[in-house]
Amino acid sequence: SDLFGSFAESTCAALVIGSSVGISGGWDAMVFPLIVSAVGVFVCLLASFIATDLKPVKGESQVEQALKIQLISTTILMIPAVYFTSISYLPGSFELNATVGDDVFTIK
């Protein structure tokens, strides 16, 4: 339950940052954390299938190896998935506006 709480809090924080007025990323940039999480769920399901069905655990001594296979396969599958998701949903550039006192700063 602690892991789920941390996941939910970080997702909410990313959504708040993505929807803040100072970031001109649009709808795609705001929902990007949710899209990455959704892609991660499907990648984890596929990696779980790889670790449990293609190379099932026969004994207690193989549990660690199965977990390592699942971790490595998830990493290998998630890297290109996040790359293509980023290309599809994030804008080519961001513009951040910050106000300090009477001065307005724009970071591109």
Question: Which one is predicted more confidently, 57 or 73?
Answer: 73
Average pLDDT over residues 83-87: 92
Q: Where are the domains of the chain?
A: 2-107
Percent of the chain past pLDDT 70, that is, above it, reads 81
pLDDT at 108: 66
Burial of 6 (0-12, 13-18, 19+ CB in 10 A): exposed
pLDDT tops 90 at residue 8: no
Average pLDDT over residues 56-82: 90
Which band of pLDDT confidence, cut at 50, 70 and 90, is reported for residue 28? confident
pLDDT at 92: 76
User: pTM of the prediction?
Assistant: 0.69
CA gap 48, 26 in Å, rounded: 34
Strand partners, 23: 96
